[in-house]
Amino acid sequence: MAMVKYWGDEKHADAIYAVYLKKVRYVPPPGYDGVPRYRAIDPDRPQLQYPCPGSDHLQWESVKERVIKAGTVEKLVFINHRVKECLVGADGTMDSRHFNVFFATYRAFAEPTNVLDRLLRRYESLEKEVNSSTSALVIQNSIRSILICWLDMYPEDFYDPDCDFAMLTNLLDFGQRSKLSDLRAKSRKLLERFKHIQEEGGMIAALPSLDQLAYAFGYEAAEYSKNPQEK
């Protein structure tokens, strides 16, 4: 079983990482069978090294693993096989850890419209490669998953009545062009919901009243006082 130890934070101009040291089984390169090897078991005490004379001896080494904690749009959205710490990892699949980090923090340094535009442009840039590249198809499927998760987990990002819900309209057009029926259906449903909310007075009017909250938690309106100082 791999053992993990927190090492510290690693700060860069465009990202902050939590660095962990993981002790994993050492796999020697070809041609080293029978050659004594020395590997540090404890990275904090590298002087403690043990010889491993036999090729079948259980050996361990420490490897550094970085987990991104925060980053810029360029770092987290720019999807590239050479960039590991982004929404789509080096293997082309969606990285759930980076998804959660990004969508919990990106509003401090980016607009939702910019993020959406980057994702859609990246998806469409791969269209010519899909038939000849499995990796391109994997990345496209990951971007589709990101968009659907975004709609499910952070729908408020798409509430822009002043722009006539341009983001959702953009997603609907994109879903039609790309033949993504599930994305179109989810975008259309959210658009209809937001238009209804707008007709009823907007997001603030849609918030539950104190009476509604009391009822939802099983209280009668008469059981609580509107004056917080009264008991």
CATH number at residue 147: 1.20.870
Is 160 part of a structural domain of the chain? yes
149 and 164 within one domain: yes
Domain assignment present for residue 56? The answer is yes
Q: In terms of pLDDT, which residue wins out, 74 or 106? A: 106
Q: What average pLDDT does the structure give for the chain?
A: 74
CA distance 8 to 17: 8
163-189 exposure pattern, b = at least 16 Cβ within 10 A, e = fewer: eebebbebbbebbeebebeebbebbee
Query: Which of 70, 68, 72 has the alpha carbon at shortest distance from 84?
Result: 68
- Average pLDDT score over residue span 195-200: 87
Q: What would the mean pLDDT of 20-37 be, rounded to a whole number? A: 66
**Residues 116, 62 share a domain:** no
pLDDT in tens, 40-71: 444 455 444 444 444 445 577 788 877 767 76
Higher pLDDT, 155 or 41: 155
Residue 75: count of CB within 10 angstroms of its CB: 19
Strands 37-40 and 49-52: antiparallel
Together in a domain, 16 and 59: yes
Kindly tell me if the per-residue pLDDT of 1 is higher than 70: no
Same domain assignment for residues 84 and 170: yes
pLDDT band at 84 (very low <50, low <70, confident <90, very high): very low
Residue pair 140/126 in contact (Cβ under 8 Å)? The answer is: yes
For residue 205, being part of any structural domain is answered with no
Residue 18 belongs to what H/E stretch?
A: strand 15-25
Residues 6+ apart with CB under 8 A from 160: 166, 167
Clarify whether residues 59 and 127 are in a common domain: no
Single-letter code of the amino acid located at 22: K
Q: Per the domain annotation, does 19 fall within a domain?
A: yes
Let me know if residue 104 belongs to a domain: yes
Rounded to an integer, what distance in angstroms lies between the CA atom of residue 196 and that of residue 115? 26
CB 198 within 8 A of CB 190: no
The total of structural domains in the chain comes to: 2
Print the domain residue range for 137: 72-200
The answer to whether residues 191 and 78 belong to one domain is: yes
**Cβ neighbourhood burial of 128 (10 Å; 0-12, 13-18, 19+):** exposed
